[in-house]
Amino acid sequence: MKIDVLGTEYEILIQNNNPKMKDSDGFCEWISKKIIITDSYRSDEDALENIDDYIHKVIRHEAFHALFAEMGIKKWLHDEELIDMLAMQYPKIRKIMDACDAYKLPIEKGVNNE
């Protein structure tokens, strides 16, 4: 699958035996424009109950790494705690933005800026 990250195409790949994976479930190669995740834990008897939700969270996590890379924010590019928080909270943030129609709110003169 390919996604557009701020005008740059990234490829999302599933690779279960990638040596770069080490102890992680995914990584973002922002130089080669690839997001690589594993789903090898699907066969793990100790795996999470809803593994699909977890895989989506891993994809969001790596996509935030890609976003920071494309924005040039190298300071936070490797901040795993910040990236993980954004990945976990994004569905809630999106729900809030969708609920208030934040993408196309009309701006009316005199409402709050008289």
Distance CA 10, CA 99 (A): 29
Confirm whether pTM is higher than 0.85.
no
Q: Over pLDDT 70: what percentage of the chain? A: 83
The per-residue pLDDT for range 14-25, each reduced to its tens digit, is 988 788 877 788
User: Domain map of the chain by residue range?
Assistant: 2-99
The per-residue pLDDT for range 40-94, each reduced to its tens digit, is 766 665 666 777 888 889 999 999 999 999 999 989 999 999 999 999 999 999 9
- Helix H or strand E segment including 46: none
For the record, the structure tokens of 88 come out as 């976990």
Distance CA 106, CA 49 (A): 42
Q: What is the DSSP track for 59-91?
A: HHHHHHHHHHHHHT-HHHHT-HHHHHHHHHHHH
